[in-house]
Structures are given as structure tokens and as C-alpha cells.
């Protein structure tokens, strides 16, 4: 069935927005963008081959443009406000991770989209990138995960974090900065999280008003356990070299080693004498973005079941909020769901 292309507006023209614009234009028509930074708007228009109208705030864009859907790549603390306003204007919503800064804001977004009868997808691309998706697929051969550990220590200095990236009230804390992708992938591997516990190390980098090193332990309803250690102050690894998981399964194991220009996946069943190595020279970003945005469009136009909805975004935010709360309380165990009364009312 042929369709008229979806008309998109894009909110947020920082580092990520202009990258996503290319993929949006492959699956629909990008007609307008919005960012309060006039320099960012001017830079986008001068560097992009896409001709768009620019706005400094989401409200006049939503009231002026004949669009079908929005894509939100603005700072984390703005996601709820833009998503709710877009839903109330009758627009379908694609929102980049992290969905919001806390579970309460996530539910506001969900309710607004439900009430308006529009779709809400949260982009979690890592589980869709071929190397990471391959580990999910290997459960068919190696059995379900029993234990996972991943170390995402890295050096954040090259990214020169400043402004909202350094304030917990705006970015959500350390896990949305480094860890959100791995939390979501662990949930894709192991299912629903049962409990969360976290401890933070003494502060090293004064730029951040939240801990710059955090150790998190997850237990899943499946019985699996996982540990995720994250840090912004480890000078020996760059971001893309960090976070490779080790996985123990019912009938084997996996080891994932990320490098700057390729990714190596080793896996071995209990019956094998040698591991299998699969090398991924393509880091898989194009595949992931095209899959999630293509699915979003097909979901809107045909009702086809997408690879992601809002549920993955909500669960990831819930785990991160629980971990940050646990660390503030000195390592207390947080039982999920964090807000059982909301779950009873909304499921």
C-alpha cells in the first residue's frame, strides 16, 4: 500500500538532531525544526541539504505547521513538555532516549499520547545494532542469560560536558550520560527487572553535581543477575571502547569487545572446544536508526507492530531512577516497579 510521506518536525539541533535528520528524510519529509539556540538553527540550515522552516520554541511550530509526527532529540529535561504538547496537538511522537528524567514524567507522556490516540516510540538503538542484536539472537543457541557484567568506564573529557549534561535535574544523572544503552540492552536480554542496588564512588570530577562513578546490580524476574559499572573519569578507555559485556548463559558464554573501528563478538557453547569469533566492521548505526524510524512510520501508517514502543523507554528510566535512588541511600535495595500504584492504574 502506498502512502503520502509522513511530515516530521524535529526538536533539538544539538549534536544528535542533525544526524537523525538524515534518517528522518529517508522515511518521511522533514519540514520544520526547532531549537532555542538560533546559532544551532542557522548551522543546521547552512550545513544540511534539507530545506526546512526554523522555530525557537515548540509551541508556535506545533500551531503553525501541517505535520503528522515529531522527533525529539532535545535535552532530556525537555522531553516531557515537548512530547505532551505534541500529543495534545495530535502529532505522533518519536522521542530519543532517555525517555524522560523520571518515571512520573514518562507516565505523563504516555497518558498524553493515549488520550490523543497517537503513537509514542522511544528510540533505543543499541539493541538494534547488529552486534548487540546478535547477542540477543544467540540465546536460541546458548540458552537464556544467567549472569551479565559490563564495564563502561571511560574518559569523558574529550566530550567537554557542560551545561545540562552536568546537572542531574536536567540530564537525569550519570546513567543517562553513560549506561542507558546498556541498561536497555540488558533488559532486552533478560526481561523484567526485579530489584536494583547501586553504590557510588567518591567524586573525582567537580563538573558534575552527581556521582561520576557508579556500580549497579540488577536482579531479573527470570533469575538472571547483571552488574553494570560506569564512570566518566577513566582515562584509559574512550567511549566507544567501553561497555563490552561478558555473558554467562545456560549452555555457554559470550564476550563482546568494542574497539574504535570494529566490534568483536566471541561466543562458545559448553560443548564446543573453541570459541567462535564474529567481527563487525560496520558499527551498525545506520541499520539501527533505519529500523526504528522505518518501524515508527509503518506503525503510524499501517499499525504494524514496531521493534520498540514507549514501554522500553519507561522500563529503562525506572531502572535508572531506582539505581540513583539506591546510591543516594547508601546502597538500599529498590524493588520494582518503583511505583506499584501507577502500574495497577495504567496496565
Residues 154 and 220 in one domain: yes
Q: What is the CATH number of the domain that holds 112?
A: 3.40.50.720
Q: What is the CATH number of the domain that holds 275?
A: 3.30.360.10
Residues 134 and 257 in one domain: yes
Task: Answer whether residue 161 shows pLDDT above 80.
Answer: yes
Contacts by residues 197-206 (CB-CB < 8 Å, ≥ 24 positions apart)? 197/323, 197/326, 197/331, 197/332, 197/333, 197/334, 198/323, 198/324, 198/326, 198/327, 198/331, 199/326, 199/327, 199/330, 199/331, 200/327, 201/231, 204/233, 205/156, 205/232, 205/233
Residues 119 and 136 in one domain: no
Burial call 73-107: b when 16+ CB within 10 Å, e when fewer:
bbbbbbbbbbbbbbbebebbbbbbbbbbbbbebbb
Predicted confidence (pLDDT) per residue in 99-138, tens digit: 999 999 999 999 999 999 999 999 999 999 999 999 999 9
**Is residue 307 in some structural domain?**
no
Sort residue 70 into left (φ over 0), alpha (ψ -120 to 50) or beta.
beta
pLDDT bracket for residue 193 (50, 70, 90): very high
Predicted confidence (pLDDT) per residue in 83-93, tens digit: 999 999 999 99
**Is residue 296 in some structural domain?**
no
Residues 117 and 201 in one domain: no
Q: What angle do CA 12, 62, 118 make, to 5 degrees?
A: 90
Total number of domains in the chain:
2
Predicted confidence (pLDDT) per residue in 259-318, tens digit: 999 999 999 999 999 999 999 999 999 999 999 999 999 999 999 999 999 999 999 999
Residues 244 and 148 in one domain: yes
Angle of helix 311-328 versus helix 180-190 axis, rounded to 10: 110
Q: Residue 347: what pLDDT?
A: 63
Give pTM, 2 decimals: 0.96
Residues 32 and 66 in one domain: yes
Task: Answer whether residue 1 shows pLDDT above 70.
Answer: no
Residue after which a domain boundary falls, among 102, 123, 144:
123
Q: Residue 109: what pLDDT?
A: 97
**Is residue 199 in some structural domain?**
yes
Residues 108 and 14 in one domain: yes
**Is residue 342 in some structural domain?**
no
Task: Answer whether residue 246 shows pLDDT above 70.
Answer: yes
Residues 132 and 173 in one domain: yes
Residues 105 and 116 in one domain: yes
Rounded distance, CA 85 to CA 156, Å? 33
Residue 64's domain spans which residues? 6-123
Rounded distance, CA 125 to CA 284, Å? 9
Rounded distance, CA 242 to CA 177, Å? 13
**Is residue 308 in some structural domain?**
no
Task: Answer whether residue 345 shows pLDDT above 80.
Answer: no
Predicted confidence (pLDDT) per residue in 316-344, tens digit: 999 999 999 999 999 999 999 999 877 76
Residue after which a domain boundary falls, among 83, 102, 123:
123
**Is residue 52 in some structural domain?**
yes
Q: Residue 160: what pLDDT?
A: 81
**Is residue 290 in some structural domain?**
no
Contacts by residues 63-67 (CB-CB < 8 Å, ≥ 24 positions apart)? 63/89, 65/7, 65/9, 65/31, 65/32, 66/7, 66/31, 67/7, 67/8, 67/9, 67/31, 67/32, 67/91
Q: Residue 36: what pLDDT?
A: 97
Average pLDDT in the chain: 96
Residue after which a domain boundary falls, among 72, 98, 123:
123
Question: Region 74-85: what's the mean pLDDT?
Answer: 98
Mapped onto helix, strand or coil, the DSSP state of residue 270 is: coil
**Is residue 298 in some structural domain?**
no
Amino acid at each position: 500500500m502506498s502512502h503520502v510521506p509522513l511530515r516530521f518536525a524535529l526538536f533539538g539541533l544539538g549534536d544528535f538532531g542533525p544526524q537523525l535528520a538524515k534518517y528522518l528524510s529517508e522515511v518521511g519529509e522533514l519540514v520544520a525544526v526547532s531549537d532555542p539556540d538560533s546559532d544551532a538553527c542557522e548551522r543546521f540550515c547552512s550545513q544540511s541539504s534539507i530545506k526546512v522552516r526554523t522555530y525557537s520554541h515548540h509551541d508556535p511550530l506545533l500551531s503553525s505547521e501541517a505535520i503528522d509526527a515529531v522527533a525529539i532529540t532535545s535535552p532530556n529535561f525537555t522531553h516531557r513538555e515537548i512530547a505532551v504538547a505534541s500529543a495534545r496537538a495530535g502529532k505522533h511522537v518519536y522521542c530519543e532516549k532517555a525517555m524522560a528524567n523520571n518515571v512520573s514524567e514518562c507516565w505523563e507522556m504516555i497518558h498524553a499520547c493515549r488520550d490523543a490516540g497517537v503513537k509514542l516510540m522511544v528510540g533505543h538503538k543499541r539493541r538494534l545494532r547488529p552486534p548487540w542484536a546478535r547477542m540477543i539472537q544467540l540465546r536460541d543457541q546458548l540458552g537464556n542469560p544467567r549472569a551479565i557484567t559490563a564495564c563502561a568506564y571511560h574518559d569523558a573529557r574529550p566530550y567537554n560536558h557542560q551545561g545540562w549534561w552536568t546537572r542531574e535535574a536536567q540530564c537525569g544523572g550519570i546513567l543517562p550520560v553513560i549506561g542507558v544503552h546498556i541498561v536497555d540492552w540488558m533488559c532486552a536480554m533478560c526481561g523484567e527487572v526485579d530489584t536494583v542496588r547501586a553504590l557510588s564512588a567518591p567524586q573525582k570530577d567537580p563538573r558534575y553535581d552527581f556521582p561520576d562513578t557508579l556500580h549497579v546490580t540488577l536482579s531479573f524476574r527470570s533469575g538472571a543477575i547483571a552488574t553494570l559499572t560506569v564512570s566518566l573519569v577513566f582515562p584509559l578507555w574512550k567511549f566507544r571502547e567501553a561497555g563490552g559485556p561478558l555473558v554467562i548463559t545456560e549452555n555457554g558464554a559470550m564476550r563482546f569487545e568494542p574497539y574504535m573501528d570494529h566490534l568483536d563478538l566471541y561466543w562458545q557453547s559448553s560443548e564446543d572446544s573453541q570459541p567462535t569469533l564474529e567481527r563487525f566492521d560496520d558499527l551498525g548505526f545506520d541499520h539501527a536508526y533505519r529500523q526504528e524510524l522505518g518501524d515508527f512510520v509503518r506503525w503510524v501508517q499501517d499499525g504494524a507492530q514496531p521493534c520498540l514502543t514507549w514501554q522500553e523507554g519507561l522500563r529503562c528510566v525506572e531502572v535508572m531512577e531506582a539505581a540513583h535512588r539506591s546510591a543516594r541511600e547508601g546502597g538500599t535495595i529498590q524493588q520494582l516497579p518503583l511505583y506499584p500504584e501507577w502500574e495497577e492504574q495504567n496496565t
